[in-house]
Structure 1
C-alpha cells in the first residue's frame, strides 16, 4: 500500500534510546504525514513483551509502523504478531545484543543518573553528517534530556533482547530497512541480515549518513521511503534497481 501525503492512516512511532517522538518529526514533515496521524509509543518499559498490547491497540491493516534504533528492535521482535500495511525500520540490529556492549550500556545509564541525559550523551555522540550537523546535534541532546527517565528500561531492553530473526521470518507485511552507509552502531551488514530473514523486505541504503540518519538528513530519508514505496529497491537485495 503506497504512502500518500495527507492520508489518515496511523503512523505508529517507536523512538530509540534517549530519544522522543521528535526524532521522527522532520522526516514525517517531509513526507507530509499529518501531526494527528502520529502516535508515539515511548520506550519506558523494560521487556519486549510489554509493547505488544500498545502496538495492537493502535495497529491495523492500514497502519505504518516506524521504528528507530531500539524502537525498531522492539517492533521487529513483535512484527509477526502485528497487523500493518508496512513497517519502516531505521538503524535496525536484528541480533541479540553484543556482550561487548554491556558495560558501555550500564555506564551510560549510570552517567544519566549522575549527570543527566544531555551531559551523559554529549561526549558519546558521534559526528553527524547532513546539511545541519549542529542543529541535528542540538535536537538529539534535547531529546536525551527529556527521555532520561526511561534509560534504565531502555538499557534492559537492549541487553536482554533475544534477537528478531524468527519474528522477521514470519512477518506478513512489507518491511523497508533504512540504514546509513556510515552507521557504525547498526551497519549495513546487519540490515542485510534482516532483509534476508523477512519474506517481503528490502534495504534502502542512506548514502553518507550515520546512525542518526533521521536527524541528519530527514528529507533524504523521506526520499528513500518514496523510492522504496515505488519499487525502486529490490526485495532481498542491496541498493536501487537499475
Structure 2
C-alpha cells in the first residue's frame, strides 16, 4: 500500500488506559500524517455504548486506529462505522477476564492515591524496542497526565463485552497488529480478531511488546505501508 493512502486521509485515534494521543504521534509522523488530520477520542466514559457518538457519521475516507483499550472500543463499532479501514494495536477482542478485576481495582486505588506515574511504574511489563528507557518515561508521563480518567477507564474495561461479533460484520479492511512479546494482549488475541473480520489481516510486530507504537514507531509504520 502506498504511503499516500495513509497520509492524505483523516485519522480518528483512540489511545489506551492511562494513555494520551502521544502513544500514536511518532508512528503517525513516520507515515507523514499531518497533525491537523489527527482527531483523538478521550476515554473518559464508562461504557462502550457511550462512544457510539464518536463513530456516527464518519467520513468514508477516515482511518480509525486504536491502541489497547482504545482498540477494544473501536472494534466494538466495526459493524456500524463508515471508515476507510480499521487498525488495531494490542487488541484483546474478548470480554474482560473477571479474574483481572482485583488488579484493575488495585490500580484504580493506587492511581488515585499516588498518581498515574507512580502507580504504573511498578506494574509495567518489559519494554522493548531501541530505546526502552525513553519509552518507559513516555508511558509514565502519559499516565500522570491521564490519571483523572482512571475511574471511567476501569469501569469501561470491566464492563465491556467481547468485540468479535462486531468484527464479523466489518465492512472495511481490518488490520490487527500485535507485538510478539506483548504480555497484556498476546498475538493469538489479535489473530482471532483478524480471522473474524471478513477482510481482516494480522501482523506480528517482531520483538515488540504491548506498547509497540511507542517502542518502535518506525517498525509499526512499515507494517502499515506494507499492508
| In 1: Cα distance, 2:7 partner to 2:71 partner | 23
| In 1: Cα distance, 2:173 partner to 2:139 partner | 29
- Does the aligned pair in 1 maintain the 2:71–2:90 contact within 8 Å? yes
For structure 1, list consecutive stretches of 5 or more residues without a partner in the other structure: 229-242
Query: Which structure has more RCO (C-alpha within 8 Å, separation ≥ 6)?
Result: 2
For normalisation by structure 2, the TM-score amounts to 0.97
The residue aligned with 1:11 is: 11
Deviations 1:62-81, CA, capped at 9 Å, x for gaps: 00000000000000011111
- Does the aligned pair in 1 maintain the 2:86–2:174 contact within 8 Å? yes
The residue aligned with 1:232 is: none
The residue aligned with 1:50 is: 50
| In 1: Cα distance, 2:60 partner to 2:107 partner | 38
The residue aligned with 1:29 is: 29
Residue correspondences, number? 227
The residue aligned with 1:193 is: 192
- Does the aligned pair in 1 maintain the 2:16–2:69 contact within 8 Å? yes
Deviations 1:10-41, CA, capped at 9 Å, x for gaps: 10000000000010000000111000000000
- Does the aligned pair in 2 maintain the 1:181–1:187 contact within 8 Å? yes
The 5 A counterparts of 1:75-224 are: 75-224=74-223
Superposed CA RMSD in Å reads 1.3
Report the alpha carbon displacement of residue 8 of structure 1 after superposing the two structures with TM.
Answer: 3.9
For normalisation by structure 1, the TM-score amounts to 0.91
Report the alpha carbon displacement of residue 60 of structure 1 after superposing the two structures with TM.
Answer: 1.7
Aligned pair in 2 of structure 1 residues 131, 5: CA closer, same or farther (>3 Å)? farther
Structure 1's consecutive aligned runs of 4 or more residues displaced over 3 angstroms after TM superposition are 5-8
Report the alpha carbon displacement of residue 56 of structure 1 after superposing the two structures with TM.
Answer: 2.0
SS of the aligned residue for 2:189 comes to helix
Report the alpha carbon displacement of residue 99 of structure 1 after superposing the two structures with TM.
Answer: 1.0
